[in-house]
Structure formats: structure tokens, C-alpha cells
Amino acid sequence: MRRRAWRLAIISGWLALGAGVVAMGAEISGEAERAYRAGKAAPNDGEARRHYQHGIDVARATLETRPDDPAALLWLAANLGGEALTHGRLHALGVISDIEATLLRLDQQHPDYDHAAAARALGNLYWQAPALISVGSTKKATGYFLLALARAPSFPGNQALAAAFFADRGDCARARPLALAIERRADLAAIGLDAAEWKQLAARALARCR
């Protein structure tokens, strides 16, 4: 379980702060997303791996006939990351380039899909991935988080991840307003399935930016 909690990133748009965040979508979008969420909730790596692999298979089958299907691209990236983490850190590093390419295609073809999921996920990826041996880049992370906020400024998934990123960088002028926007909302559960994670990210950002 500790391996799966390692802070790599992707995905919803998610692997954020140990939470496994890639997409932070508003609702279940199909079988590939259901597989990802089942993997996230699985009690051990073996069971999680089976769910993630099923999500990978479903997404790839969809992309064979619809190569630019946005949900398939997003949840392929998410399941690739989840499945890789069940094998350990080094294996996970090996799939980052595939995840990056998938998310860049999503950003190119469907930039506004799921409240700017591609930009949100790319920001998270560039934030969390190691810079020296992978694609990590603070400059790219900043750019993509700002892009996600520009495209969907009121979506709490964008606000929460961006708040966590900026707080981590010590940029409290940006982090606090975003985190406070999450804290003050009473409708998060109605907006998406990840309300608890959004609140957790916001709380951590505010704790760092008192």
C-alpha cells in the first residue's frame, strides 16, 4: 500500500499528494473510469492491478475505433499510472512518457473536456514527476495549472490541485484564495465524486499558508 501512495502524478486529472488523483472529474464517465476508481479503492496491489489493467484494456479498445475519444484518453492515462504504481517507483517512472503523450493529445484535441482535465492533469504530472530523471518541470506545472484555471476557473478540482501546487512552491498569494474558495463551498458533493480529496488538498494548502 505504501508504494501506491507514492507521490507520482498524472492524472485528473490524478496522483496528487498520495491521493491518486488524475482526473478529478465531475461524474463517472464510463467503464474505464469505474475501473480506475475500483483500483484506487482496492485493498492490495494485486487486486488494484487487475482493475487498472481492465481500465487500460477498455480505454485502448475504445481508442482503436475512436482515436481521439476524450474519456478514453483521460482514463487511459489514469489507469496507466495506477497500474504502474502497483509495481513500484521505478516501473512507474517508465510509463510517464506514455502518460504525458496521452494527456498532451487530450489537451490538443479536447482542451475543455471535463473542466480542462488535460491541463489539470499535465500540471500535476509536471509537478510531481522527478525533474532529473523524468519530465518534472515547475515552469510547465505552473503554466498548465494556470491554463486549467483560465479554462475552468470555478471548477473545484482545478482550484484544489492548483492551491496545493502553489502552496508547495511557497506562493501563498495564489494558493490561499484558491483554497479558501474550496473551503467556503457547500456544494462540492453535488459537483463531483472527489469532494473529500478537494477539501483535503485545500486544507493542506491553507495549513502551509497560514
Sign of CA dihedral 203, 192, 104, 11: positive
20, 32 Cβ separation under 8 angstroms: no
- What is d(CA 200, CA 204) in angstroms, rounded to the nearest whole number? 6
C-alpha grid cell for residue 187? 456544494
Which of the listed CATH numbers 1.25.40.920, 3.90.190.20, 3.50.30.30, 1.20.140.10 matches domain 31-208? 1.25.40.920
Per-residue pLDDT of the chain (210 residues; tens, 9 = 90+): 333 333 333 343 344 323 334 445 444 469 999 999 999 999 999 999 999 999 999 999 999 999 999 999 999 999 998 998 898 777 777 788 899 999 999 999 999 999 999 999 999 999 987 764 567 799 999 999 999 999 999 999 999 999 999 999 999 999 999 999 999 999 988 887 788 899 999 999 999 998
